[in-house]
Each structure stands twice: as structure tokens, then as C-alpha cells.
């Protein structure tokens, strides 16, 4: 499975701790949950659910606390785009009359937040 995903340029990684932010409704509690677990472990990859409203509201404070604590934030980014499968590309072309990969630039839907 790992070799197959590698041929498609799909990376695999895991998290060290779950924030359980999907169960928490208050942003300040999300921050406390994450920081408590992180301090206990000392480091790690934290699973956050970006579609949770409380998580989005907690993020500025969480990032500030991580910075004060000396933690590093890293972005996992592929070197190359995911390779599509020709048989699925053809099925998409037949059904929708176009490419399986959008011509729309990523920058139109992704926003990078600076320091």
C-alpha cells in the first residue's frame, strides 16, 4: 500500500495526539486541551479539525501560545501534485467533458496566513 501511494505522490503521516476539538465548543477550551496534551508529550503532530468553528476561533490564541512555548509550526506540502489515474481521468472526461484536474489556481481557494 505504501509503495502504491508513493507512485501516486501521496504522502502518509500520522498524528501523535488528537485535540478532540470536535467535542469542544468553546475556543478557550480547545487551546487548553491542545496545550495540556502537548506539554505532557513535549512535542508532536496534533490533529485539529479545520471545519470546527471553535477550532477556527481558537487558532490565533493557540498559535500565539505555541510560539511563546518555543514550538515550531510546519507545513506538510507535496513536492509534486498527486498523480491522477488515467482510467478515472477518462471517465471524468466522458461524464463531464473536461479535465479531472481543475484549471482553477489553488491560490483562488487557499489563503496563506503570514506572521
Q: How many C-alpha atoms does 89 have within 13 Å on its Cβ side?
A: 8
Read off the pLDDT of each residue in 97-102 and give the average, rounded to a whole number: 62
**Burial grade of 30 (CB within 10 A; 0-12, 13-18, 19 or more):** buried
- What does the domain layout of the chain look like in residue ranges? 2-80
Render pLDDT for 15-48 as a digit per residue (tens, 0 to 9): 888 888 889 989 999 999 999 999 999 888 888 8
According to the model, what pLDDT value does residue 32 have? 95
d(CA 57, CA 25): 10
d(CA 112, CA 37): 27
According to the model, what pLDDT value does residue 93 have? 83
Read off the pTM: 0.61
Question: 2-80, what's its fold?
Answer: TIM Barrel (3.20.20)
Amino acid at each position: 500500500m505504501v509503495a502504491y501511494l508513493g507512485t501516486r505522490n501521496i504522502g502518509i503521516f500520522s498524528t501523535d495526539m488528537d485535540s478532540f476539538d470536535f467535542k469542544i465548543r468553546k475556543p478557550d477550551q480547545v487551546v487548553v486541551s491542545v496545550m495540556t496534551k502537548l506539554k505532557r508529550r513535549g512535542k508532536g503532530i496534533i490533529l485539529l479539525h479545520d471545519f470546527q468553528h471553535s477550532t477556527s476561533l481558537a487558532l490565533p490564541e493557540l498559535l500565539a501560545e505555541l510560539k511563546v512555548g518555543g514550538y515550531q509550526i510546519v507545513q506538510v506540502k507535496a513536492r509534486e501534485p498527486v498523480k491522477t489515474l488515467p482510467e478515472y481521468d477518462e471517465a471524468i472526461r466522458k461524464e463531464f467533458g473536461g479535465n479531472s484536474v481543475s484549471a482553477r489556481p489553488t491560490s483562488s481557494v487557499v489563503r496563506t496566513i503570514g506572521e
